[in-house]
Amino acid sequence: MMILGVFVFWPIIDALRTSFTDESFFGSSTWVGLENYVRMAGDERFWNALRNTALYTVVTAPVSVVIALALAVLLNQRIPGRTAFRAVLFFPWVASLGIASIAWAALLDPQIGMLTSWFSAIGISVGDGLRSTTWAMPAVMFVGIWRNVGFFMVMYLAGLQQIPGEFREAALLDGASSFQRFRHVTLPLLSNTTMFVVIIAAIFSFQAFDQIYVMTGGGPYFSTETLVMLIYSSAFRNYDLGYATAVSWVLVLIVLTLSLFQMRYFNKRVVQY
């Protein structure tokens, strides 16, 4: 509790205090009340970052969860090499996302990138690649999904292995097909795991930063700037710490509200067995 108090709770409280000041890294700070929040309401850059964050979350969180569930169901079967496949799929999670993003940026480079060359060979033009407002956001979304799928897959594998085998055997004896067993037995019994995975996926998406910072820097023309990127830019580029902490608290409230809503939704569907 002492460690949490010093390194978690106190910084949160101090950030809330800072959001009501004009604090920067230079000189003293002055209490300005709600000025930072009022400024935020009229800041088009903030609303653009919020739209980008919402778009990123709406795409990456559901796609990551669905792919992870499909892979978990597949790799829960007795297939050759399943342990190796699990390790390969989990590897992006343990690798440094910053380093991996450098590699992805090189692969997607419009001049020398291997992937862009392959796309061109099959007639798909990516234009300026990460410097294109059309392709930059899909690229960082793809890297986010690639990174998180393995972690969510392991969570689902743990959930699948906790389901008693007699439920599936009973459904099989009743003549249920593979899809029916998944739809009416496996999926409902995974509701507890799904609640955890969906909430974590949403939080991860709202906190997206590493690959965006490395691959696009929030550009081009702020088309990939998320709320976390805006917080970083306001604090460490513009030295406007008061405004940055105000944005961070808005992000905290958004994530908290979304998490509570998801928990309320899934708690009504919790299955005990």
Q: Give the DSSP per-residue string, 5-56.
A: IIIIIHHHHHHHHHTTB---SSS---B-TTHHHHHHHT-HHHHHHHHHHHHH
Q: What is the pLDDT of residues 52-72, one digit of tens each?
A: 999 999 999 999 999 999 999
Task: Report CA dihedral (148, 153, 159, 162) to the nearest 10 degrees.
Answer: -140
What are the pLDDT digits (tens) for 125-153?
777 778 888 889 999 999 999 999 999 99
* Token pair recorded at residue 212: 């965006």
* Its pTM surpasses 0.85: yes
| Range from 69-78, 155-164, 183-192, 242-251 carrying the lowest mean pLDDT | 183-192
Query: Can you list the positions of beta strands (E) in 30-163?
Result: none
Let me know how many helices (H) and strands (E) the chain has, helices first. 15, 0
Query: Per-residue pLDDT tens for 88-124?
Result: 999 999 999 999 999 999 998 888 888 888 888 888 7
Per-residue pLDDT tens for 190-200? Answer: 888 898 899 99
Domains plus CATH for the chain? 44-267 (1.10.3720.10)
Average pLDDT on 67-84 reads: 91
- Report d(CA 118, CA 215) in Å as an integer: 20
Counting residues of the chain whose pLDDT is more than 90, the rounded percentage is 58
**Residue 54 confidence (pLDDT):** 95
